[in-house]
A and B are shown apart, each in its own frame.
Chain A
Amino acid sequence: MAGGLWWLCIVAGIIGFGFGGPLIVANDAAATAANILAKESLFRLGFSADLISGLSYVGVTIFIYYVLKPVSRSLSLLGAFFGLAGVAIGGASWVIHLAPLLLLHGDQYLTAFTTSQLQAMSLAALTLQMQVFPIGMVFFGIQCISIGYLITRSTFLPRILGVLLAIGGTCYLIVSFANFLTPSLGPRLVPFIMPVALIGEGSLGLWLLVKGVNVERWNEQASLAR
């Protein structure tokens, strides 16, 4: 179940980027605005995929917490809290994501601004919204590292999954901080590092979905923990 949800989260996240991303033309507010208005349903789909990705991650976080609780309750809880904080930070960006639609639909009260001003504001909102992602990523990164560590210490999941996940989490941290500190370098790292991170999360999600945990050993470790 956790695995299924995790895949839902990843797929929805990719769809969110895949649908929403191409509509944005960097530094060209007018073209971006035209794109969004022409493909409004695509834009809304991108938004809802974003939302679903966040929602399913709340479920993922809780399920993973319970799966790994027998290994270390406090560390598992720490990871879960980082995950929830990450989702909440992402949640702050959901409203900003909808701002362009309000701005571009040109309600009566907005006539105080010229069209190009409204377009500039909506691109600013989108740019701001994109910046939230790496901020939340710091929290997800720490969560992934703690989960990865717990998996390597567990007896009921293969260690390699934990190692991959911890590497993925470290990648998130690197990308995020590269984004903040050297905005020119950050985006160039993404194509190299994101696949590594996805391998970590994807393989764990797939394993949980297909194989699940070794129930016998899970019970064993759970009873030891008590």
Chain B
Amino acid sequence: MHPLKKAARVAGAIYLSMVVTGPFSLIYVPSKLIVRGNAAATADNILAHETMFRLSIMADLVGQVIFICLAIALYRLLSGVNKMWAGLMVALVLVSAAVGFVNTLNDIAALTLFRGADFLTVFDKPQRDALGMLFIRLHTQGIFIDEMFWGLWLFPFGLLVFRSGFLPRFIGVWLMINCFGYVILSVIALFFPAYYGAAFNWSQPVLFGELAIMLWLLIKGAKIPVPQTGSIAPLRSPANA
């Protein structure tokens, strides 16, 4: 396979694995276990389904690692277009993953409090549950903050796709719009939390930009520019990478 096409497929496959792990820890598990505003019920749920909760923490961590791998795979694919923008893309992803990693600590703190080890007996149960709930909520706030990065890295990504010549331009534009979608969502979540639900629903078409590029990379790969093969020289094939 042409190295460019291969790099595109690899990036697409990594992207796909992220799309699989993301919703599990971001949407499915919270919707099952967290009861808004009710600390005791949330604590009971999480203790009853502790394995599921731990799996979601695990999926969260694995997801961050995949995100880093994705950034590197996309760097390999797109650094030939413009090294600086590709570098910025990777840097934003690295910081986002680091923030995400630290954020899982909030979930772990909640679990520790709900389980209530011996040293925690100085607090009574409602207090422990309340503290645990606080950490669950902090974890959600952390996700809202990270959303800022999920948006921002898409701007250099979209720009590179737009300029690449081997990926469709409209997806590049879509990704750049997707960037603002996430940033706006993040701002709404942090400043006008009441409107977040509505904004999230409205923004779906914008957020599908990522799905589009994922499918395109996976299914179509990259269009190989036959006439000027020399122009893609900066892309290293795996053999001499």
A to B contact number (C-beta, < 8 Å) = 90
Which of A44, A66, A108, A110 makes the CB contact (< 8 A) with B87?
Answer: A66
Contact with A along B25-66 (1 / 0, CB 8 A): 000000000000111100000000000000000000000000
**In the complex, how many residues of chain B place their beta carbon closer than 8 angstroms to a beta carbon of chain A?**
36
Q: Is the CB of A95 within 8 A of B39?
A: no
Q: Is the CB of B94 within 8 A of A84?
A: yes
Interface centre among A61, A88, A109, A113 (most CB of B within 10 A): A109
Q: Is B98 among interface residues, defined by CB-CB distance under 8 A?
A: yes
Q: Is B152 among interface residues, defined by CB-CB distance under 8 A?
A: yes
Q: Is the CB of B91 within 8 A of A84?
A: yes
Which of B83, B94, B133, B141 makes the CB contact (< 8 A) with A98?
Answer: B141
Binding-face segment, B122-130, B163-171, B195-203, B230-238: B122-130
Which chain B residues border A51 with CB–CB below 8 Å?
145, 148
Q: Is A112 among interface residues, defined by CB-CB distance under 8 A?
A: yes
Question: Which range holds the interface residue count of chain A?
Answer: 20 to 34
Closest residue on chain B to residue A87 by CB atoms: B95
Q: Is B134 among interface residues, defined by CB-CB distance under 8 A?
A: yes
In angstroms, Cα B183 to Cα A48, docked, is: 12
Shortest beta-carbon distance from A188 to chain B in Å: 31
Which chain A residues border B138 with CB–CB below 8 Å?
95-96, 98-99, 102
Which of A63, A87, A99, A111 makes the CB contact (< 8 A) with B84?
Answer: A63
Q: Is the CB of B39 within 8 A of A109?
A: yes
Which chain B residues border A158 with CB–CB below 8 Å?
none
Q: Is the CB of B94 within 8 A of A55?
A: no
Q: Is B106 among interface residues, defined by CB-CB distance under 8 A?
A: yes
Q: Is the CB of B127 within 8 A of A58?
A: no
Q: Is A4 among interface residues, defined by CB-CB distance under 8 A?
A: no
Q: Is A186 among interface residues, defined by CB-CB distance under 8 A?
A: no
Which of A58, A103, A108 makes the CB contact (< 8 A) with B95?
Answer: A58
Contact with A along B96-118 (1 / 0, CB 8 A): 00110011001000000000000
Q: Is A212 among interface residues, defined by CB-CB distance under 8 A?
A: no
Which chain A residues border B190 with CB–CB below 8 Å?
44, 47-48, 98
Q: Is A94 among interface residues, defined by CB-CB distance under 8 A?
A: yes
Which chain A residues border B95 with CB–CB below 8 Å?
54, 58, 84, 87-88, 91
Q: Using CB atoms and an 8 Å cutoff, list the residues of chain B in contact with chain A.
A: 37-40, 83-84, 87-88, 91-92, 94-95, 98-99, 102-103, 106, 124, 126-127, 129-130, 133-134, 137-139, 141-142, 145, 148-149, 152, 187, 190-191
Contacts A88-B98, A113-B130 supplied; 5 other A-B pairs, CB < 8 Å: A88-B102, A92-B102, A96-B138, A103-B134, A109-B130
A sample of 19 inter-chain contacts (CB < 8 A) reads: A47-B190, A48-B191, A55-B152, A58-B91, A63-B84, A84-B91, A87-B95, A88-B98, A91-B99, A92-B99, A94-B99, A94-B145, A95-B106, A95-B141, A98-B190, A107-B37, A108-B37, A109-B37, A110-B130
